[in-house]
Amino acid sequence: MNLQERISVCVELGKKLSSEILNNQRLLVKSTGANGWFTEDEVERALINWSDALSADKIEKWLSDYPELTAYKAKNRVGIIMAGNIPLVGLHDLISVFLSGNVAVVKMSSDDEVLMSEVIMQLLQLDERVGDYIEV
């Protein structure tokens, strides 16, 4: 996948976060049940904020500071050990590694596994090639 294709997948994920995932009451209840510190309000806030952050203009503005990404070809494996203290706290690391074109080797926190698993599954459904960039 080239950088523009990876950006497009992230933008589509942002749309899904504010529609399908935010409106999935079963998922919200399951995620709050898996972590006693997560409230439904906090989970909803995380989904809304990530949806906003993954808009095309915000991603383009963020990546404009890294013009070398357009020519970057290496696929390094980058280990990510995700925390679970805030809903989707590990998503920034995952998105950063994915957009850079590297492979994220992810160890999810059991405290945020419900939401992160759903997000990764949504990414894979958007484009099966995402599987080349994420290992759980």
133 φ, ψ (degrees, to nearest 5): -115, -5
DSSP strand pairing (134-135 vs 77-81): unpaired
Per-residue pLDDT reduced to its tens digit, 63-87: 999 988 888 877 899 999 999 999 9
CA dist 121 and 75 (Å) reads 21
Write down the pTM of the prediction. 0.93
DSSP class of 57: H
- Distance of CA 83 to CAs 11, 88, 113, Å? 24, 9, 10
pLDDT the model gives residue 23: 87
Per-residue pLDDT reduced to its tens digit, 108-123: 999 999 999 999 999 9
pLDDT the model gives residue 10: 98
Contact between 46 and 87 (Cβ < 8 Å) = yes
CA dist 2 and 13 (Å) reads 17
Q: What is the average per-residue pLDDT within 104-111? A: 96
pLDDT the model gives residue 27: 92
